[in-house]
């Protein structure tokens, strides 16, 4: 009997040796049951592939996170050790500086400096013990205690190096197979020279030991650890033991002069210990160890990434394979059992190819195929409507997303710039505070001694006058010397000179006080401050720009201060705003002065006024100049980040943007700009007297 070509799949299917019973049962199934069986088989295969791939990927992700956390613990150990070492050296030097050179009495700063030194020595000891429990040190200790090491005990460092080289080769082999096998565990412990301190190791470090059980140290880490154990371990242990002995013997509250002198000698001897002499070498070793841990982390993560990529390939392969198998099952069932649906298939393909959702499937029966055809027609209509709505919604969502993305980018740029500006001002404040402190000490000495010098000079001049009254005719040698030094001129000029020196020292003290007030710019504390004090301090710092110079005359500053209460704000940020506005005003006035002819009567002037506003619930600060003014198109962008009219290298364009953010967002005030080209510019700052503290934190 001749079969048409379309019946070949059915013939192939029934030639499969399924058994007569199964074929008879399968032929009695309804159409819906057969479709359900086909889709169930396809779904089972697909779900099995997805679950298997998902479990494999989760395992790989957990392993990557495990390795990352282990290495980060090593980095934290090294970083803590470096920090405690630096703190120990700093407080050791401060403690030595607190000793009286004659060692006869206890310096007032000795007790706090001794307590700081003891505190950071204990922290250094703890961090060294924690570092000694890292995988590199623990592995090295295991190698040092292996039986083959006992056989070569006389080789010293060369025996350790041989073990390190052997571990390097073994570690390289393990790295190549890290994706298939777990790393061997290492029993971590302290190096032998620190074994007597092991009972003081923190519990967290013991947990960290177990976390590194399958992450062995690299050869470079072991080499550095060996170098630190051999060259620095005994020195560190000796230093810790000596300081611990001093801590037991010294009670700072009841220390005697003899103990004080003995402690001074002991600490100065420790200052020349092997640890301090090899401090640079130790710092270099810890830095190299940190870099080695980072390199090991990169290698481990690269290996795990490769394993993750292989697992993902397996996952996608299983998904593709299960999908193909399910598709084959569906195709077979469709060709054999669902031939009435060929019309639906053809219409579907044509609709997809042409993008035409107006096509319909003719309904020729009322059976399941007919119901499916009717449902398909309704579904096509629904898809058409949904596609139309989805296109409009997608376009609207895309536009909203683009707008939000642009806003986010601008906010990120503003935040980054504000952080950089804040960091600069914080560094400047710290530097100015240090300079002011260093200047204030010698100036205080000079200022305090000027009074005594002035009294001594008056006494000496009075004594000279008495001599001249009682001995009007001195000997020739005294008369000649008197004429030579111009005694009369000295008697007249010396008091004036001392008065001038006192005036100069007063001026220096005022400047130092202004610098110290302005250096509080790095303070983030919200407190009640005097705005007039901040304005005056800023003007004092800028006093050199207000003075006359060969290029132009001096700039006058007019103050119209009202009686203001203390304002709750961040004084450092408000001083920064004052500085930005005043610097811009000075730049504008100087630019206009440079453009004036030689005989011009123009004089630069800045007017600062304050007042109470909003029923005495707020204050207003106005800073006006008679510079060239600002054009309207520039005023519209004056508070935009990175906008500046100054030449390249003269301004960043962030001063007014940061000032606007400080006033409006952080202090809930207003910053306004009014300018008339050719007449000048005024900036008005409006602040509430009481801030919402939660908004400033």
**Does the pLDDT at position 333 exceed 50?**
yes
**Does the pLDDT at position 88 exceed 90?**
no
Residue-level pLDDT at 518: 58
In the structure encoding, which two tokens stand for residue 494, read together?
A: 């010396």
Degrees (nearest 5) of the Cα angle 420, 426, 431? 125
> Dihedral through CA 387, CA 391, CA 394, CA 400, nearest 10?
-150
How far apart CA 420 and CA 424 sit, in angstroms, is 6
Residue-level pLDDT at 172: 41
Degrees (nearest 5) of the Cα angle 191, 125, 107? 150
The string of DSSP codes covering 608-664 is: EEEEEETTTTEEEEEEEE-SS---HHHHTTTTSTT---SPTTT--S-HHHHHHHIII
In the structure encoding, which two tokens stand for residue 595, read together?
A: 């453009």
Of 275, 250, 278, the closest CA to residue 265 belongs to 250
Of 685, 669, 689, the closest CA to residue 617 belongs to 689
pLDDT confidence bin for 188, thresholds 50/70/90: very low
Query: What would the mean pLDDT of 524-528 be, rounded to a whole number?
Result: 75
* pLDDT, tens only, 199-248: 344 434 333 344 344 456 667 777 777 777 777 778 888 888 888 888 88
Residue-level pLDDT at 206: 38
Residue-level pLDDT at 430: 58
pLDDT confidence bin for 421, thresholds 50/70/90: low
Residue 85 or residue 177, greater confidence? 85
Give the N- to C-terminal CA distance of the chain in Å, as an integer.
92
How far apart CA 76 and CA 656 sit, in angstroms, is 40
**Does the pLDDT at position 652 exceed 70?**
no
Task: Tell me the average pLDDT of the chain.
Answer: 73
**Does the pLDDT at position 91 exceed 60?**
yes
**Does the pLDDT at position 612 exceed 90?**
yes
Of 639, 636, 624, 633, the closest CA to residue 679 belongs to 624
Alpha carbons within 13 angstroms on the beta-carbon side of residue 114 total 21
> CB pairs under 8 A, 24+ apart, for 369-373?
369/31, 369/338, 369/340, 369/341, 372/341, 372/344, 373/341, 373/343, 373/344
**Does the pLDDT at position 634 exceed 70?**
yes
Of 495, 499, 490, the closest CA to residue 464 belongs to 490
Query: What would the mean pLDDT of 502-514 be, rounded to a whole number?
Result: 72
Residue-level pLDDT at 307: 67
How far apart CA 33 and CA 30 sit, in angstroms, is 5
In the structure encoding, which two tokens stand for residue 190, read together?
A: 């302290």
What sign does the dihedral 363-366-372-377 (CA atoms) show? positive
In the structure encoding, which two tokens stand for residue 102, read together?
A: 């004659």
User: What are the Cα distances from residue 540, in Å, to 76, 87, 153?
Assistant: 46, 37, 73
pLDDT confidence bin for 14, thresholds 50/70/90: very low
Give strand pairing partners of 675: 681
Residue 192 or residue 382, greater confidence? 382
Q: CB of 308 within 8 A of CB of 60?
A: yes
In the DSSP assignment, the letter for residue 107 is: -
**Does the pLDDT at position 194 exceed 80?**
no
Residue-level pLDDT at 672: 94
84-98, 257-271, 302-316, 467-481: which is most confident? 467-481
Query: What would the mean pLDDT of 659-675 be, rounded to a whole number?
Result: 91
Alpha helices in 486-570 (DSSP H): 487-518, 531-541, 543-546
pLDDT confidence bin for 516, thresholds 50/70/90: low
Percent of the chain with pLDDT over 90: 10
- Our measurement of the distance from residue 439's CA atom to the centroid of its chain's CA atoms, rounded to an integer in Å, reads 32
pLDDT confidence bin for 627, thresholds 50/70/90: very high
* pLDDT, tens only, 249-269: 777 777 777 777 777 778 877
- Which residues lie below 8 Å from residue 585, measured CB to CB, with a gap of 6+? 606, 623, 625, 627, 681
Give strand pairing partners of 625: 606, 681
How far apart CA 44 and CA 48 sit, in angstroms, is 6
Q: If you compute the radius of gyration of the chain from its CA atoms, what whole number of angstroms results?
A: 43
Of 503, 621, 499, the closest CA to residue 560 belongs to 621
Of 523, 512, 342, the closest CA to residue 425 belongs to 523
**CATH of region 555-697:** 3.30.565.10
Name the least confident of 35-44, 195-204, 542-551, 661-670: 195-204
Where along the chain do its domains lie? 56-315, 555-697
Residue-level pLDDT at 548: 82
**Does the pLDDT at position 651 exceed 70?**
no
How far apart CA 453 and CA 462 sit, in angstroms, is 14
pLDDT confidence bin for 661, thresholds 50/70/90: confident
Degrees (nearest 5) of the Cα angle 71, 76, 77? 95
Residue-level pLDDT at 694: 42
Alpha helices in 200-278 (DSSP H): 203-211, 219-227, 233-249, 257-271, 274-277
Name the least confident of 388-392, 511-515, 679-683: 511-515
Strand 605-613, strand 556-560: pairing: parallel
What sign does the dihedral 241-246-249-252 (CA atoms) show? negative
In the structure encoding, which two tokens stand for residue 551, read together?
A: 């290029």
Name the least confident of 284-298, 381-395, 421-435: 421-435
| pTM for the predicted model, two decimal places | 0.36
**Does the pLDDT at position 155 exceed 80?**
no
Residue 169 or residue 262, greater confidence? 262
Residue-level pLDDT at 200: 42
User: What are the Cα distances from residue 662, in Å, to 193, 547, 572, 610, 685?
Assistant: 56, 30, 11, 19, 11
Residue-level pLDDT at 278: 73
**Does the pLDDT at position 605 exceed 80?**
yes
How far apart CA 624 and CA 96 sit, in angstroms, is 53
**Does the pLDDT at position 2 exceed 50?**
no
Exposed/middle/buried for residue 78 (C-beta within 10 Å: 0-12, 13-18, 19+): buried
Residue-level pLDDT at 251: 77
How far apart CA 375 and CA 309 sit, in angstroms, is 43
- Within a 10 A sphere around the Cβ of 486, how many other Cβ atoms? 11
């Amino acid at each position: 009997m001749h079969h048409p070509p379309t019946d070949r799949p059915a013939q192939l299917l029934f030639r499969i040796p399924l058994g007569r019973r199964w074929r008879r049962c399968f032929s009695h199934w309804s159409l819906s049951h057969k479709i359900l069986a086909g889709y169930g088989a396809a779904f089972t295969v697909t779900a099995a592939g997805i679950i298997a791939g998902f479990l494999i990927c989760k395992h790989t992700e957990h392993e990557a996170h495990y390795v990352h956390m282990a290495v980060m613990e090593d980095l934290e150990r090294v970083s803590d050790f470096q920090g405690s070492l630096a703190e120990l050296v700093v407080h050791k030097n401060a403690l030595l500086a607190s000793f009286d050179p004659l060692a006869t009495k206890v310096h007032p700063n000795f007790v706090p400096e001794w307590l700081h030194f003891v505190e950071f020595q204990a922290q250094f000891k703890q961090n060294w013990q924690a570092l000694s429990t890292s995988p590199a040190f623990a592995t090295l200790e295991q190698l040092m205690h292996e039986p083959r090491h006992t056989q070569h005990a006389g080789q010293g460092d060369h025996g350790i190096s041989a073990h390190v080289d052997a571990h390097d080769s073994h570690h390289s082999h393990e790295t190549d197979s890290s994706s298939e096998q777990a790393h061997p565990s290492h029993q971590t412990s302290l190096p032998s020279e620190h074994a007597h301190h092991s009972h003081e190791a923190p519990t967290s470090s013991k947990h960290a030991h177990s976390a590194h059980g399958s992450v062995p140290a690299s050869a470079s880490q072991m080499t550095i650890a060996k170098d630190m154990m051999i060259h620095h371990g005994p020195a560190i242990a000796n230093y810790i033991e000596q300081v611990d002995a001093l801590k037991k013997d010294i009670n700072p509250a009841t220390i005697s002069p003899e103990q004080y002198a003995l402690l001074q000698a002991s600490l100065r001897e420790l200052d020349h210990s092997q640890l301090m002499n090899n401090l640079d070498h130790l710092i270099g070793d810890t830095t190299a160890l940190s870099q080695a841990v980072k390199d090991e982390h990169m290698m481990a993560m690269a290996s795990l990434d490769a394993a993750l990529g292989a697992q993902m390939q397996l996952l996608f392969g299983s998904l593709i394979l299960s999908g193909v198998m399910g598709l084959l099952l569906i195709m077979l069932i469709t060709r054999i059992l669902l031939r009435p649906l060929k019309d639906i298939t053809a219409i579907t393909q044509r609709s997809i190819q042409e993008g035409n959702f107006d096509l319909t499937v003719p309904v020729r029966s009322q059976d399941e195929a007919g119901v499916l055809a009717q449902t398909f027609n309704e579904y096509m209509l629904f898809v058409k409507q949904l596609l139309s709505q989805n296109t409009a919604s997608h376009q609207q969502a895309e536009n909203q997303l683009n707008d939000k993305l642009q806003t986010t980018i601008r906010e990120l740029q503003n935040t980054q710039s504000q952080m950089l500006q804040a960091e600069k001002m914080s560094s400047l404040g710290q530097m100015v505070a240090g300079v002011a402190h260093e200047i204030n000490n010698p100036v205080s000495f000079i200022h305090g001694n000027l009074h005594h010098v002035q009294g001594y000079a008056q006494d000496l001049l009075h004594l000279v006058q008495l001599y001249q009254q009682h001995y009007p005719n001195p000997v020739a040698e005294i008369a000649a010397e008197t004429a030579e030094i111009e005694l009369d001129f000295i008697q007249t000029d010396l008091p004036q000179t001392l008065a001038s020196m006192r005036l100069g020292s007063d001026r220096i003290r005022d400047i130092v006080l202004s610098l110290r007030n302005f250096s509080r710019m790095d303070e983030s504390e919200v407190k009640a401050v005097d705005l007039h004090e901040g304005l005056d301090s800023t003007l004092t710092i800028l006093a050199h720009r207000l003075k006359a110079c060969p290029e132009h005359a001096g700039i006058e500053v007019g103050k119209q201060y009202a009686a203001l209460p203390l304002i709750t704000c961040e004084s450092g940020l408000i001083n920064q705003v004052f500085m930005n506005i005043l610097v811009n005003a000075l730049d504008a006035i100087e630019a206009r002065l440079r453009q004036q002819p030689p005989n011009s009567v123009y004089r630069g002037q800045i007017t600062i006024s304050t007042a109470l506003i909003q029923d005495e619930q707020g204050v207003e600060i106005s800073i006006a100049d008679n510079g060239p003014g600002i054009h309207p198109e520039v005023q519209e962008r004056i508070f935009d980040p990175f906008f500046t009219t100054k030449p390249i290298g003269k301004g960043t364009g962030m001063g007014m943007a940061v000032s606007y953010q400080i006033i409006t967002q952080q202090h809930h005030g207003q910053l306004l700009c009014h300018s008339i080209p050719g007449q000048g510019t005024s900036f008005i700052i409006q602040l509430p007297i009481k801030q919402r503290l939660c908004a400033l934190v």
